Structure 1
Amino acid sequence: MTQPIRWLQDEIADRMLQKLDIVKLDVKDLLIVPDFAGKHLDVLAKRFPKVRTLSITEEGVSSFQMWRAKALRNWRTLFSNTASPLASFTSSGRFDIPDNSVDLVFSNLLIQDLADPKHFLRECWRVLREGGLLTFSYLGPDTGKELRSLEIPSLKLKNILSPWDMHDMGDALLAERFSDPVMDMEYLTLDYEKPELLLADISALNLLHLGPDATPQLELLPQKLTLEVVYGHAWALGKHLAKAKDNVAYIDLNQIGRKTRPDSA
């Protein structure tokens, strides 16, 4: 995401938090990925007082900017002064966070930009504690469907990098050992009075590669844009179990307690 589409991040974050209203979860450590200076920080601070937050900051946002944003919003929680950049995760496939260290992963509009979301799910499983929750949103494959029929030589249109619908994601969560996944989807339609605004948004959403010398025929662009927004959450349960094979879960011998008989009198 880039600055022109910040309003969308804020709106989707608000909807994610509304969906969390029915979830009971004691959160001491929270991971936000990608972290950005949005309005949702106020709600998170009130919802989870005295939580420690860990940031995987989106590109262009420094740890100082995040610290300042949280301080200006009267962030009432304890938060880390250091942040790991999102670019580090996308290049390495790993969060710079220890195993079993957070109770909640909050991920807003990231997965559609990942080449293989399975790596993201595995990292979330790794850093979540037993009983922790992953909650996320991303853009589904119907996003920008109005653009697919366009034939404008100066525009290089792209599909989202990860074309997973909510059924694909539900299956992937189960495959990565998450429990009780809940998936939801909605369509948002954006209407535009000026084609320049549409061009800016589809570029910010990574649906377009526009070269520096390109001069697209703006009159050929549609006046609306469809966003398919997918929401989901799932629990990290049974982390002491080995990964199931053939629908059978295996328990390490070290996890089995040994009961001893008291000595006879």
Structure 2
Amino acid sequence: MSLSDSSLTPPTLDVRALARWNHRAPAQSPWLHEEVGRRMQERLQWIVKPPQTWMDWEPVRGGMQAHDLVQQRLPKSQAWLVHAQAHHAQAAKQRWQTSVWSRLAGAKAVQFQEPPFEVDMVWANMGLHWAVNPPALIRQWAEHLHAQGFVMFSCFGPDTLVQLRRLHANMGWPAPAQEFTDMHDLGDMLVAQGFAEPVMDMEHIRLQFATAERAQQELRELGRNLHPARFAGLRGRQWHVQWLQAVQGLANSEGAIELNFEIIYGHAFKAPPKMKVAQETAISLKDMRQALQKPVP
């Protein structure tokens, strides 16, 4: 496969392999997703007008504990949970199905489907990097928001697993993971899909592992290598031993294997609808109100 192939530009995802992984992905949240979600929910304190309604996009894989933290920060808000996979939706119901006693105590029951109206916030933790077509997913988020609604999301950036990528390149092996989309490109996608003045930032989380086996376990919990240019067949035990030895060789003077994860955070308000003006134009009262309303920073 040529390196100029368009399938090798971020995001690089094998569509069929991704579908298989989504169907098999365990109904649990990786530790790193939970940690990123914990950090992202702290940013809600800077929102001037807390959302009264919000939608959590794929919280079972995105972060179940993180969802609980958002609910604790927004105790009077109504939450909707959206999952594409049936076993994830079932896990969500088992965890968040509100009991009769909780309802009598005044707790708002979590809803397990797409909201029937536009909401104040879409919360999408650590899911965008699994989208084959990020602009299409961002557009879906915009469609669920009213004109003053906003999205908060996080995902992996291109410097994720840079140590492992160098190792594979030096060994002549295919890439160990997909190529992740740059922060600035994601900002451009937000604007193109109907969001205004996105705020983008990033941080590096460096995890240390005592052994190559423990590092591999963490990576498998996060997902799979779905790069279309990955090794086409199955690797044998001999190669696996070789891989573990090579990764162990990344250990520093203290014996720790350090892997870098670039985390991108995005926050943007939905832009008011643009009205086309002709010689004679009819504008509904609803569109006029939305056009005159400006997002609250």
TM-score (norm 2): 0.68
Q: 1:58 to 1:200 in 2, by over 3 A?
A: farther
Cα distance, 1:32 vs structure 2: 0.7
Q: Distance in 1 between matches of 2:129 and 2:222?
A: 10
CA apart distance, 1:237: 2.6
Do the aligned partners of 2:82 and 2:89 also contact (CA within 8 Å) in 1? no
Deviation at 1:30, TM superposition (A): 1.3
- The 8 Å contact of residues 158 and 207 in structure 1, kept in 2 or not, is answered as no
- Please show how residues 66-105 of structure 1 align to structure 2 within 5 Å: 66-71=92-97, 76-80=107-111, 82-83=112-113, 101-105=118-122
* CA distance in structure 2 between the partners assigned to 1:133 and 1:104 by the alignment: 5
Counterpart amino acid of 1:255? Answer: I
Q: Identify the residue that residue 46 of structure 1 maps to in structure 2.
A: 72
* Matched-pair contact (CA < 8 Å) for 1:142–1:226: yes
* Preserved CA contact (<8 Å) 2:163 2:260: yes
Q: Give the aligned partner of residue 5 of structure 2.
A: none
Match of 1:260 in 2: none
Distance 1:251 1:127 in 2: 26
Q: CA deviation at 1:213?
A: 5.7
Residue in 2 that maps onto 1:25: 49
| Residue number among 150, 165, 177 corresponding to 2:182 in the alignment | 165
On the 8 A contact 1:103/1:132 being kept in 2, the answer is yes
SS of 1:78's equivalent in the other structure is: coil
**Uncovered stretches (5+) of structure 2, i.e. residues with no partner:** 1-24, 251-256, 286-297
* 1:238-253 equivalent positions in 2, closer than 5 A: 238-239=272-273, 241-242=274-275, 250-251=276-277, 253=281
Could you tell me which residue of structure 2 aligns to residue 235 of structure 1? 269
Structure 1 contact 103–133 (Cα < 8 Å) conserved: yes
- Contact kept? 2:56, 2:67, Cα under 8 Å: no
Q: Does 1:113 align with 2:119?
A: no
Which structure 1 residue ranges, 5 or more long, are not aligned?
84-95, 243-249, 258-265
Count residues in correspondence.
234
Distance 1:72 1:193, change over 3 A: farther
Find the aligned partners of 1:2 and 1:21 in 2 and give their Cα distance: 32
Q: In proportion to residue count, which structure has more strand?
A: 1
Whether the 8 Å CA contact 1:112–1:160 is kept in 2: the answer is no
> Offset of 1:4 from its aligned partner?
8.1
- Change in Cα spacing, 1:56 to 1:154, as seen in structure 2 (3 Å) is farther
Match of 2:200, as an amino acid? M
Alpha-carbon distance between aligned partners in 2 of 1:122 and 1:176, rounded to the nearest angstrom:
5
1:115 maps to a residue whose letter is: V
Which moved further from structure 2: 166-175 or 68-77? 68-77
Please give the alpha-carbon distance, in whole angstroms, between the structure 2 residues aligned to 1:44 and 1:134.
14
Q: Distance in 2 between matches of 1:207 and 1:166?
A: 22
* Cα distance, 1:41 vs structure 2: 2.9
Give the match's secondary structure for 1:79.
coil
**Who is 2:259 aligned against?**
225
After superposition, the C-alpha distances for 1:80-105 in whole angstroms (9 at most, x for unaligned) are 1x34xxxxxxxxxxxx555x522110
Matched, 1:6 2:34: no
- Confirm whether residue 214 of structure 1 aligns to residue 248 of structure 2: no
Query: Per the alignment, in what secondary structure is the counterpart of residue 39 of structure 1?
Result: helix
Q: Secondary structure in 1 aligned to 2:167? A: coil
Structure 1 residue aligned with 2:166? 149
Which of 173, 185, 193 aligns to 1:176? It is 193
Which residue identity is paired with 1:66? A
1:214 is aligned with what amino acid? G
Change (3 A) 1:149 1:4: farther
- For the residues of structure 1 that align with 2:148 and 2:221, how far apart are their CA atoms? 35
Q: CA deviation at 1:18?
A: 0.8
- Is residue 2:221 matched to residue 1:190? no
Give the superposition deviation at 1:132: 0.2
What is the aligned-residue RMSD (CA, Å)?
Answer: 3.1
Return the letter of the residue paired with 2:118. S
